Structure 1
Amino acid sequence: MSSERERCNSRHFTWIMKTCFPNPHQTTTICPQPYHPTTTLPITTTTITSLPDDVVLECLCRVPPSSLPSLSLVCRRWARLLHSSHFSDLRRRRSLLHHSVFAVVATDSGFCAASLTDGAWKIALFHPCYDAVALDDFHFLLAHARLASIGPRIFVIGRNAMVRYDTWTSTLSPRSAMNFPRKKFASAVVSGKIYVAGGGSRSTAVEEYDPDSDTWSVVSYAQRRRYGCIGVSVDGLFFIIGGLRIGAAGEGNEFSRATGGADAHAAYASSMDLFDVEARTWLRSRTVPGGGCVVAACAAAGNVYVLTSHAVELSFWKFDARRKSSNHGGGGGFGDWCRIKSPPFPVQVRVDTRMRFSCIGLGDKVVLIQVNGWCVDEMMRSGRSVREGMVLIYDCGSGEWRRGADLPDLFRRAAYVGVEC
């Protein structure tokens, strides 16, 4: 985009702000030609504030992305429209959305965020957390938090609390906590609302968060209890993938410790449950091929991408999650699973409790972040863990991987999310 299109100076904003409010001193009348004393017609000045929302949205969606943060400060109505799902949907249809990966971490000094932009990690915010949330509380909040983004806003969802980070205004604000405490749960955004499931032993409730009213509500109950599951969304569906299936025979020590010993029986779940958000119905579950442990998942370009592990072997799978038009809203007609090119790690990676991956969908790209873990070659030499901080990017169109900018040391224990605005 040219620099001229990106330019938006204070004079332009002064005019924009004036047009938001009618002029109380406007008394102009116009006399059409030919003039006749009985045909003088008063003219009411038309301002932006008198236009309907859909017309204003059409105007705002054409503004250069660099000017959107400033426009959100013009008035409350514009802020509401710019943060609405309608604005994001409109820009998405016009291919105007910009995608970034954000990393969020709690340091000894405060809250810190970085974004992967133009091939490099850049510090986006440092906040001492004095007014939004205490630093010790924020460390606890991020320990097992899930991140969800709606437009330019990132919601950090913890076990007993939630914080909203606005990437446009660089501000933090506390939000309402979930009704049921959860740990290592699934979360995803569908049609501008956040959905969570799993991660608890007391209830199978699926909760919905409305950012406009800052409220959580139970919308359904899951078919099975899961712990350590992953959530993604495609085509109006909330996918709950992998984790430990609670209640089956097997090892459940981690879940037992997390829940105080309740329901220790568990087994790895190589499946995904599908919840239709609009219809409030559950579709037939799908089995993840290969029978391995799901270690990461995301959605991109209408597909669900899943990374599975078999000890030292990683496999990468794609599921066509776009529903067929004849079955839309019904039992669900989908494409097939397809094994695709595995991520090109330079050495074999042993997946265990010290290993963690994050998988983020960004438009037609998948960003895979290896946070830490065991490299088999190094382990055989020294027995020590190696933190890679590696970032790999998969192009959904070409089917090829490429190396991205490695994580800075500070963000190797962060939480990650994709942001589009």
Structure 2
Amino acid sequence: MSESCNSRHFSWLMKSCLPNPSDAKSLVPIHHANPPANVTPISSLPDDLLLECLSRVPSSSIPSLTAVCRRWSRLLLSPYFLHLRRRLGLLRHSLFALSAVDSGLFAAVLQVQSETPSWRVSLAVCADGGQGSLSHSRAAAIGPRVYVVSRNAVLRYDSWMGTVALRSPMIFPRKKFAIAVVSGKIYVAGGGGGSEVTAAVEEYDPERNRWEVVTHAARKRYGCIGAAVDGVFYVIGGLKIGNETSRGTAAHVYASSMDLFDVRSRQWLRSRSVPGGGCVVAACAAVGHVYVLSSHAVELSFWRFDARRGGGGGFGEWTRLKSPPLPAQVRLDGTVRFSCVGVEDKVAVVQVVGCIDDLLRRSGRSERGLRESLVLLYNTVDGEWRRAADLPEMITRAACACVEC
């Protein structure tokens, strides 16, 4: 084979890749210009400007951005990033439900403002192996992160990343307690173990991962429910466990009342009672009000408490609302429990059957049409109820909260 190159031996395709000597444009050299000296890479921006840029990315891109470097991960997990996305209107409030299984945590998210809302389910595994101790847990959300608080463990689930981390447990192990979020911190009150009910009210700081006792309640409640509006932590319902003679009367009073703790002043306000008595089985906060679901053995009543302290004059007023339309096969007994969650201008009532086989046996009804968990949405604007998509079958004994994601 000849060592010299002869253009006649090249195919037409190879010739087309060679410059044409008669074409002046083909002889112009290609210069790879360096970027202008005044172009600044994004990594050299100060934290505030970098946060402004990162806060505008889609939610689906956040997990990959945290893997860029430690600095980006720190900024994306900071409260300033959450504040910027909230200010830009990029966060959507959603109903969140979480349940623990041996393999991890099943998390489900429902966009209640969607025209055709449906649940989005994911499975997250706790690297620290703490999901097995979440019996009698309560859930509280701060932005996109849900804190699942149980008697001996606290898990933080990040709805953006889909990750689970073990956090510091409460100082006083307790179950069936009240929980709420005020100004980015979690407050718990009431509950306990066995016959011991604690009066300590604890505050959890997520940034420091630390619990501390901030006050003691005048009344010890077991099985109570929490809500928060306008800087006030409401400890609602529950029972009094004690040795006094009038135990039955005291238990009834506790079951239909609520104590008010002003977080800023660290003072307890005057207690309030739900009209009509009954036993409070669920409560939540939404659009400046506390919504209470009360059981009267054979029926439910639904109430609204005006919790706005801005000088409007309506603070402390109660209004009875339309009761939730439960299916006929649901009985109000120990096998059924309820959870209320405020999601923007909606109140979601989640009904969970604790033991569906036992309920069917008592009612004598067939299983057709009976779901273990159903979701009802109350529109605070028009005062109407509608049924939303039932909880997925793998979500059992769910802890519910409102999450921003």
- TM-score (structure 1 length as normaliser): 0.75
> Structure 1 354/236 Cα, relative in aligned 2: closer, same or farther at 3 Å?
same
Shift of 1:89: 4.6
For 1:133 and 1:125, locate their aligned partners in 2 and report how far apart those are by CA, in whole Å.
14
The residue identity in structure 2 corresponding to 1:344 is P
| Contact 2:197 2:220 (C-alpha < 8 Å) held by counterparts | no
1:184-204: CA deviations, max 9, x gaps?
Answer: 001111111111110023531
1:413 matched to which residue of 2? Answer: 397
2:328 matched to which residue of 1? Answer: 347
For 1:164 and 1:211, locate their aligned partners in 2 and report how far apart those are by CA, in whole Å.
10
2:181 matched to which residue of 1? Answer: 189
For 1:187 and 1:124, locate their aligned partners in 2 and report how far apart those are by CA, in whole Å.
25
Residue of structure 2 aligned with 1:392, choices 367, 376, 394: 376
1:116-144: CA deviations, max 9, x gaps?
Answer: 245112222243x4x3215xxx34x2220
Shift of 1:345: 1.4
For 2:232 and 2:78, locate their aligned partners in 1 and report how far apart those are by CA, in whole Å.
20
The residue identity in structure 2 corresponding to 1:172 is V
Indicate yes or no: 2:157 matched with 1:162.
no
Residue of structure 1 aligned with 2:145, choices 153, 178, 181: 153
1:309 matched to which residue of 2? Answer: 295
2:278 matched to which residue of 1? Answer: 292
Note the 1:2-401 alignment, pairs <5 A.
50-51=45-46, 53=48, 57-92=51-86, 95-117=89-111, 119-127=117-125, 129=126, 131-133=127-129, 138-139=131-132, 141-200=133-192, 201=196, 203-247=198-242, 249-250=246-247, 266-267=251-252, 268-325=254-311, 334-347=315-328, 349-372=330-353, 382=364, 388-401=372-385
> Structure 1 73/271 Cα, relative in aligned 2: closer, same or farther at 3 Å?
farther
SS at match of 1:411: coil
Shift of 1:62: 3.7
> Structure 1 291/83 Cα, relative in aligned 2: closer, same or farther at 3 Å?
farther
> Structure 1 205/367 Cα, relative in aligned 2: closer, same or farther at 3 Å?
same
> Structure 1 106/388 Cα, relative in aligned 2: closer, same or farther at 3 Å?
closer
> Structure 1 351/173 Cα, relative in aligned 2: closer, same or farther at 3 Å?
same
For 2:343 and 2:301, locate their aligned partners in 1 and report how far apart those are by CA, in whole Å.
20
The residue identity in structure 2 corresponding to 1:405 is A
Quick check: which has more Rg, 1 or 2?
Answer: 2
Structure 1: state its 5+ residue gaps. Answer: 1-25, 29-42, 253-264, 328-332
**Which deviates the most, 143-152 or 82-91?**
82-91
| Contact 2:280 2:292 (C-alpha < 8 Å) held by counterparts | yes
> Structure 1 224/381 Cα, relative in aligned 2: closer, same or farther at 3 Å?
closer
Structure 2: state its 5+ residue gaps. Answer: 1-34
For 1:202 and 1:49, locate their aligned partners in 2 and report how far apart those are by CA, in whole Å.
54
Shift of 1:310: 0.3
1:36 matched to which residue of 2? Answer: none
> Structure 1 384/192 Cα, relative in aligned 2: closer, same or farther at 3 Å?
same
Between the two proteins, the alignment pairs up a number of residues equal to: 357
> Structure 1 381/143 Cα, relative in aligned 2: closer, same or farther at 3 Å?
closer
Shift of 1:346: 2.8
- Higher relative contact order, chain-length normalized (CA < 8 Å, sep 6+): 2
The residue identity in structure 2 corresponding to 1:287 is S
SS at match of 1:350: coil
Q: What RMSD, in angstroms, separates the aligned Cα atoms of the two structures? A: 3.2
Shift of 1:225: 0.4
For 1:306 and 1:379, locate their aligned partners in 2 and report how far apart those are by CA, in whole Å.
30
> Structure 1 199/346 Cα, relative in aligned 2: closer, same or farther at 3 Å?
same
For 2:212 and 2:228, locate their aligned partners in 1 and report how far apart those are by CA, in whole Å.
19
| Contact 1:304 1:319 (C-alpha < 8 Å) held by counterparts | yes
1:225-273: CA deviations, max 9, x gaps?
Answer: 0011111111121111111133363359xxxxxxxxxxxx844431111
SS at match of 1:104: strand
> Structure 1 57/383 Cα, relative in aligned 2: closer, same or farther at 3 Å?
same
SS at match of 1:246: coil
For 1:195 and 1:381, locate their aligned partners in 2 and report how far apart those are by CA, in whole Å.
39
> Structure 1 277/309 Cα, relative in aligned 2: closer, same or farther at 3 Å?
same
Shift of 1:210: 0.9
| Contact 2:98 2:400 (C-alpha < 8 Å) held by counterparts | yes
For 1:112 and 1:345, locate their aligned partners in 2 and report how far apart those are by CA, in whole Å.
26
Aligned identity (percent) is 58
| Contact 1:84 1:192 (C-alpha < 8 Å) held by counterparts | no
> Structure 1 322/96 Cα, relative in aligned 2: closer, same or farther at 3 Å?
farther
Shift of 1:175: 0.8
For 2:44 and 2:215, locate their aligned partners in 1 and report how far apart those are by CA, in whole Å.
39
| Contact 1:312 1:348 (C-alpha < 8 Å) held by counterparts | no
SS at match of 2:247: coil
